[in-house]
Chain A
Amino acid sequence: DAGVIQSPRHEVTEMGQEVTLRCKPISGHDYLFWYRQTMMRGLELLIYFNNNVPIDDSGMPEDRFSAKMPNASFSTLKIQPSEPRDSAVYFCASSPPVLRAFFGQGTRLTVV
């Protein structure tokens, strides 16, 4: 398996634009997590899914953020409209129940 695949690796966009981050989890994993990493706040859990169903989205900072998982092999995190304070590295991770999670390489988002 190729591991968790995120795209794009880097994204630079202008304030106000829509941004979509993509994630392909490892096949067979029931759980998918989205995290945001910044120097100030560390690694924050934004939302996680179990069997494609969102379980807890309490970490999503604002209504500008939304996440979907239309099937077991694909998830998106969308920011609309984007703001400079959204600049961060966004990680996707997947796992079986209980066990360790596997992380993607992350998407570095810069909003100017």
Chain B
Amino acid sequence: GDSVTQMEGPVTLSEEAFLTINCTYTATGYPSLFWYVQYPGEGLQLLLKATKADDKGSNKGFEATYRKETTSFHLEKGSVQVSDSAVYFCALRGSQGNLIFGKGTKLSVKP
């Protein structure tokens, strides 16, 4: 079945460091891909999305490119801030309408 694998956390970075969180997926057909973010005590919020191969999703300085050949959707940010501290989830929307998430990666950014 469809699945998402993302790098285990936690990830701890200093402010202004470069961030990469790896995500790979397995799916039939052509899923849409998403990154969601969860702040403490809240539900998940959409961070960015890509609906077809080679699309690049971007928002708030975060980027991810849909790579069909490597079945990947890695999240990157050039310079993280303390306010980026949260849990990040990679997800796919399958052809049957299901929405599957990775286990999440906790990011802590130190000043």
Contact = CB atoms under 8 A, between A and B. Distances in A.
A39 to B, nearest CB: 10
B103 interface: yes
B69 interface: no
A42 B104 contact: yes
A32 to B, nearest CB: 11
A45 interface: yes
Given A43-B103, A103-B44, A98 B98 contact: no
B61 interface: no
A103 B43 contact: yes
DSSP class of A's interface residues: helix, strand, loop or mixed? Answer: strand
B49 A100 contact: yes
B104 A43 contact: yes
Contact count band on A: 20 to 34
B45 interface: yes
Contacts of A95: 99
B104 A105 contact: no
A50 B97 contact: yes
A42 B44 contact: no
Contact of A105 (B43, B98, B102): B43
A97 interface: yes
Contacts of A56: 96, 98
Interface of A: 4, 31, 33, 35, 41-43, 45, 48, 50, 55-56, 91, 93, 95, 97-101, 103-106
The 3 closest A-B CB pairs, nearest first, are: A42-B103, A103-B43, A43-B101
Given A91-B43, A100-B34, 5 more contacts: A33-B99, A42-B102, A43-B44, A99-B32, A100-B49
